[in-house]
Structures are given as structure tokens and as C-alpha cells.
Amino acid sequence: MRVDVTVLGAGIVGVCTALHLQERGADVALVDRAAPGEGASFGNAGLIERSSVIPAAFPRTAAMLARYAFNRVPSVRFDPLYLLKSTPALVSYWHNSSRLKLKSAIDAMLPLIEASIDEHDALIGPAGAEDLVRADGWIGIWRTAAKFAAVSGNLQGLKRFNLSYTVLDADELARVEPKIHTGQEGAVGGIHWHDAKTVTDPGELVKRYAELFVRRGGRLLVGDAAGLCASAGLWTVKTEELEVQARNAVIALGPQSAGLARRFGHSLPLLMKRGYHRHYRMDDAMPFHAVADQERGFVMSPMTRGLRLTTGVEFAGADAPPNPRQLKYAEAAAARLLPLGEPVEETPWIGVRPCPPDMRPIIGPASGTKGLWFNFGHAHHGLTIGPATGRLLAEMLTGKPTFADPTPYRPERF
Ligand SMILES: Cc1cc2nc3c(=O)[nH]c(=O)nc-3n(C[C@H](O)[C@H](O)[C@H](O)COP(=O)(O)OP(=O)(O)OC[C@H]3O[C@@H](n4cnc5c(N)ncnc54)[C@H](O)[C@@H]3O)c2cc1C
């Protein structure tokens, strides 16, 4: 089968890339070894995070490093061997997390974050996914009065981002989110971020977007992208159904992307930040909003399967065996905020956030390899910015004016 573009990977990024290419007149095949939305796009915290304008930087204070050093918190865990193996990328991440460099990462990400809600909205209606998306924001909570006072007293630093939020003291928090314990053992206050939307089943959202792609005439095929090869100006990949050939191929395989790019001579650094989730049956104890514990570093999101508890970051190889400890710490910390019900799944889910060390995705043509394109490395923000980066890549590939300057994301920066 001959198409204009083959998109490899049907996570939020690949599906949105395929939809945007299609919208710009391209005949597109979308290839994944599994069903759409089964990777990290399935298991995230479900925040379309319009308010998280500051990328997750590497901790730079001695106090923070000391806190993570013992591997006993839900926010950060690490496999020492993985850290050793990833030293160059980690050093670069640390370097890019300085105050000055972080500012340029914020500026680089801003056009994508600012477009995130509009770009999702443009798909949610046509995909018939309104039932999966809520527009009442999320709440960050703090456990210690001094930390809460420091953060809420510094919010004027966010002024240039025009975010809508409400600072909630313990009483106000108890009114807005009565299921969360407040006071000494619980939360001392919170910030309600109103711009964000939340998704009650992120994997299903991706499937609905993929169904839209198919309804509009796109081809969704099952196949292993590892077999991608190039000859006579055509990119070929074998799928279960047939062999697909295209002048252009887009690698959007999330954490698996760097491996395939390397086969074609492109060495692109991606740190693996793994994360876990599990659902709990909550009945009447379900919180109304997604709630992020800003001090312990986990999120509790009301979802269709129950309350989804997602951990922070685990630095470990993508295929290393899961380690249940981080989720255990998150469960213990969450139980101080609300009575966690019975777990829905026996085994927690594990997924990977693919993170370039400069905290911005890799989007654009593979320099010197005709017809090969990249769209990956969405780190903590893939659900949020997938539709926006899909549009950007599609505009670049079809030679249309781009809605944002693609320079900060270009692959050849590495
Ligand atoms: C615990 C956790 C919480 C998160 N919370 C949020 C959040 O609240 N908001 C937010 O915006 N982001 C969040 N993220 C990040 C977000 O989930 C990711 O950035 C995003 O899902 C990445 O999407 P993707 O399409 O690039 O990758 P994926 O969703 O991983 O998709 C990659 C696809 O490639 C396919 N694939 C891989 N290898 C092959 C192969 N060889 N052949 C064929 N197909 C292949 C996979 O099957 C998969 O479908 C979170 C992540 C985690 C882990």
C-alpha cells in the first residue's frame, strides 16, 4: 500500500500527528504494535495541564537532593545503575535546570502549553469525547504551613502567564474538596488551577481520537516499527495486514523512539522517567477534583475505573523490572488525605515519560535523512501538548506556516 506519510506509534502524539496530517490533505497510515493509547498515554494522571508552565527541572538544592537520596519518597526514586549509565544526559538535565536555562525552557514550551486546551477542544467535539473531559481544573495541596505560605506568597511570579487560580486556606479547601482531610494530619491549604482540563480515561480519549482518524479515511494498522527500512526514497514498514510504503515516516513511539532513530544515525538523548498507577474503589469518598500532593509528589485523579493514584518519577531503564516501593510510599501518603478504598488491579500499571534533558520535545525533520521526521520526548506533558505538537509537525511536513516557531524543538540541537 502506498500512502503519503506513515506515522509510527499511536499514543496521543502519533494519533494527533496523523489527524493533523490528514486534515492538511495527506493520505496517512498509522502503525502501532498494539491498540491506540496503550502506552504512557493510557496511564497518566489525566491532566490537560494548561497551568503547568514550568517544566519539571532537575533538583538543584542540597536539601532536595538529600531528600531524594534515600529512595524513600513517592516523588522521586532512582536505580543507581541507570543513573550511572545515563550520566551524560543527567548532567545535561542538571545544567539545563539552572535558573537561566530553565527560563528558556519555559519560554520554549509556552506556545505549546498555551495552545493545549484549544487544540484538544478542536478534537474532543468531532471525536465525540465530551463525556471523558471535565473543565473544573485541579487542586494542588500542601502539608506544611511554611511551604504553603512560601508558594502562595510567590504567585506574582506567574503573572506573565495569565493563569486563573484560587488560593484556598484549609477551610476553603475543605469547602471545595470536602473529601480531603485538612488540618495537622492532612492538607493545610491548596491552589485550585482553573485553566486545566482533566480526562477521566486518557487511554479511551486516544482511542476516540484514533476512531476519528479512521472515520476520516485514515488507515490504522498493526505492526512493529522496528522493521522500518528505507530504499529508493520510500520508507517501508511491514504490518500484519500489508506492507506500507511512504515518502515520509514520522517516529512517534514515545520512549521507544530514540532506539529507532539511532538505527538511522540519529543519536538523541532521552531520559526514562517511569511512573506507576493504581485505581482504588472509593464510592462516596471520591474527591471531586484531581488533587496533586505538591510536597509528596503524587496525583489522585477521579477516573472511570476508580481513583487513580499516580506516582512521581522513577529513573530506571524502560524495560527494568517494576519496583512496587514507590507506589507503596504514595499509598501511605495518600491514606493521610483520604481513606483509600480497595485496589481495583492486582498489579500496578507502569509507564514511561520520555524526557529530553533540555525539557522540550524533539519535533521536526531528521537532518540528512530525507523523509524521516520525529515527534517524541513529551516528558510530563504529552497528554497536554500532543494535539499541539501533532499540528506543528503536520504543518512542517506539509510545508504550511507553523502556528509556533519550531526552532526550540529541532532535533539537530543535540
Ligand atoms: C505516571 C504518569 C503520569 C503522567 N501524567 C500526565 C498528565 O497528567 N498530563 C500530561 O500531559 N502528561 C502526563 N504524563 C506524560 C504523558 O503520559 C506522556 O508524555 C505521553 O503519553 C507520551 O505520549 P506518546 O504518544 O509520545 O507515547 P506513548 O503513549 O507511550 O505511545 C507510544 C506508542 O508507540 C507504540 N510503540 C512503541 N514501540 C513500538 C514498535 N516497535 N512498533 C510499533 N509501535 C510501537 C506503543 O505501543 C505506544 O502506543 C504522565 C506520564 C506518566 C508515566
The Cβ of residue 87 has, within 10 Å, a number of other Cβ atoms equal to: 9
| Beta carbons of 162 and 108 less than 8 angstroms apart | no
Domain boundaries, the chain: 1-57+97-130+198-269+358-414
Strands (E), 206-281: 219-222, 229-231, 234-238, 243-251, 271-280
Q: How far is the CA of 335 from the centre of ligand 1 (A)?
A: 28
Q: How far is the CA of 13 from the centre of ligand 1 (A)?
A: 8
pLDDT (0 to 100) of residue 348? 97
Grid cell locating 273: 522517567
Closest residue CA from atom 21 of ligand 1: 41
> Other CB atoms closer than 10 Å to residue 373's CB: what's the count?
25
Superfamily covering domain 1-57+97-130+198-269+358-414: FAD/NAD(P)-binding domain (3.50.50.60)
Q: Ligand 1 within 6 A of 225 CB? A: yes
- pLDDT of 194 reads 98
Residue 229's pLDDT band (boundaries 50, 70, 90)?
very high
Tell whether ligand 1 has an atom less than 6 A from the beta carbon of residue 14. yes
Question: Residue 210: pLDDT above 90?
Answer: yes
Q: Is ligand 1 within 6 A of the CB of residue 13?
A: yes
pLDDT for 216: 98
Residue 281 pLDDT > 90: yes
pLDDT in tens, 16-27: 999 999 999 999
CA–centroid distance, residue 310 to ligand 1 (Å): 14
Minimum mean pLDDT among 39-43, 322-326, 352-356: which range? 322-326
Four-residue CA torsion sign, 183, 187, 188, 190: negative
**Can you give the pLDDT at residue 368?**
96
What local confidence, expressed as pLDDT, does residue 68 receive? 84
Mean pLDDT of 195-207: 98
Per the prediction, the chain carries an average pLDDT of: 96
- Is the whole-model pTM more than 0.95? yes
Cα–Cα distance for residue pair 67/65, rounded to 1 Å: 5
Distance CA 351, CA 38 (A): 10
Picking from 72, 35, 79, the residue whose alpha carbon sits closest to that of residue 209 is 35
How far CA 116 is from CA of 18, 201, 321, 360, 368, in Å, comes to 17, 18, 34, 15, 31
Each residue's pLDDT tens digit, 233-249: 999 999 999 999 999 99
Sorted by sequence, the CB contacts under 8 Å of residue 176 that are 6+ apart come out as 139, 168, 190, 192, 288, 289
Mean pLDDT of 346-371: 97
For residue 216, which of 408, 1, 414, 24 has the smallest C-alpha distance? 24
pLDDT in tens, 259-270: 999 999 999 999
The CB of 348 under 6 Å from ligand 1? The reply is no
Ligand 1 pocket check for 196: Cβ under 6 Å: no
Q: Which atom of ligand 1 is nearest to the CA of 380?
A: 15
* Ligand 1 atom 3: residue of nearest CA: 44
Residue 380 has pLDDT above 90, yes or no: yes
Residue 65 confidence (pLDDT)? 82
382-397 vs 99-124: helix crossing angle, rounded to 10: 80
Q: Is residue 165 very low, low, confident or very high in pLDDT (cuts 50, 70, 90)? A: very high
Q: How much is the average pLDDT of 12-39?
A: 98
What contacts 217, CB < 8 A, 6 or more positions away?
22
What is the reported pLDDT for 103? 96
Establish whether residue 34 lines the binding site of ligand 1, counting it when its CB lies within 6 angstroms of any ligand atom.
Answer: yes
184 falls in which pLDDT band (50, 70, 90)? confident
Cell triple for 93: 538535565
Q: In this structure, what C-alpha cell is assigned to residue 288?
A: 471531586
38 lines ligand 1 (CB under 6 A): yes
312-330: average pLDDT: 94
| Cβ–Cβ under 8 Å, residues 53 and 110 | yes
- For the segment 180-201, the average pLDDT, to the nearest whole number, is 95
Give the chain's radius of gyration (CA, Å). Answer: 21
pLDDT of residue 407: 98
State whether residue 307 is helix, strand or coil: strand
Tell me, using a 6 A CB cutoff, whether residue 300 lines ligand 1.
Answer: no
Ligand 1 centroid vs 10 CA: distance in angstroms? Answer: 9
Closest C-alpha to ligand 1, atom 35: 9
Distance in angstroms (rounded) separating the CA atoms of residues 1 and 13 = 23
> What confidence tens digit (pLDDT) does each residue in 39-90 have?
999 999 999 999 999 999 988 888 888 888 888 888 899 999 999 999 999 9
